[in-house]
A and B are shown apart, each in its own frame.
Chain A
Amino acid sequence: MRIFSNSTQQLLEQSLNAASTRQKTIADNIANVDTPNYKAKKTVFRHQLHNAIEGQQLNAYRTDDRHFEFGGKQNSQAAVVVSRTNSMFNHNGNNVDIEHEMAEMAKNQIYYNALIERLNGRFNSLKTVIGGGK
């Protein structure tokens, strides 16, 4: 049965995975707040990358369906961990901004809670329909 294969369900599940990765990254940064030469990491979600490159995507004009499309297959991973490069460094080469990390952690928690709420709502709706309200 393909009840759960629609795009919203997958988006929610992938976003939850990405939020979990982000929490680990933030914990890593906070633990290394005083480490010399440590560069802060951040987690970029696939839809953020997608929005960034969307305006520049080149689509092939195909006259036949059998012709190849530009662009490789999409990265199925929801979240990518990269180094934060645009912030100032301390005297010991560390660029972890503790306020930023704390704010990111609060944001991530609320994002995760909101997604769980929505996921529960969807599952409950499915149960209502299947159970007929009994």
Chain B
Amino acid sequence: MTIFHGFNISSSALTTQRLRMDVVASNMANVETTRGKFVNGEWQPYQRKMVVIQPNENRFSSHLAKAMGRTDNLGNGVKVSKIVDDQSPFKLVYQPDHPDANAEGFVRLPNIDPLKEMVDMMSATRSYEANVTTLNATKNMLLKALEIGKG
């Protein structure tokens, strides 16, 4: 692996956490969106989005290393493989005079819990900061290595 392997790993983690943060922001913004998608002639509310995070291991080198039984394969960071919809049921609120109320007077609201989103946001922020610290530490180590033999 190159001298910049640590950088690539941290950078992939930063991208992933920022994407996770974007998803949290999208969920928070759409807490009350009753008209998310138009499906089969009726409006569906916005469905909560979630990210699926996987290790970044689709490269040929990692498969080859596994096949050869080598144990020094550290992996290549993380990536977001897909953004999926949360399939949990929508919230039902009794509001008979809402334009999107159904026959019984219930409105379907998105299945978003603001508290859960806040916890996700804090987790994403802390992960982001931790990865920035890691990247800076790697950078400082390399800069120090450049000073070997001087002074």
Q: Which residues of A contact B (CB under 8 A)?
A: 97, 99-100, 102-104, 106-107, 110-111, 113-114, 117
Please indicate the chain B residues that have their CB under 8 angstroms from the CB of A102 in the complex.
Answer: 11
The answer for the CA separation of A117 and B143 in the assembled complex, in Å, is 11
| Nearest CB in chain A to that of B22: its residue | A90
**How many B residues, CB 8 Å from partner?**
14
Q: Is the CB of B146 within 8 A of A117?
A: yes
Nearest-neighbour CB distance to chain B for A61, whole angstroms, equals: 28
Determine the main DSSP class of A at the interface with B. helix
Q: Would A106 and B139 be within 8 Å (CB), given that A99-B11, A100-B11, A100-B15 are in contact?
A: yes
Give the dominant DSSP class at B's interface. Answer: helix
Q: Which residues of B contact A (CB under 8 A)?
A: 3-4, 7-8, 10-11, 14-15, 18, 135, 139, 142-143, 146
CB neighbours (8 Å) of B7 from chain A are 103, 106-107
Q: List A contacts of B143 (CB < 8 A).
A: 110, 113
Given known contacts A106-B7, A107-B4, is B146 in contact with A99 (CB within 8 Å)? no
Can you report 16 residue pairs joining A to B where beta carbons are below 8 Å apart? A99-B11, A99-B14, A99-B15, A102-B11, A103-B8, A103-B11, A103-B135, A106-B7, A106-B135, A107-B4, A110-B4, A110-B139, A110-B143, A111-B4, A113-B143, A117-B146
Q: With the chains together, A104 CA to B15 CA distance in Å?
A: 13
User: Which residues of chain A are within 8 angstroms of B3 by Cβ–Cβ distance?
Assistant: 110, 114
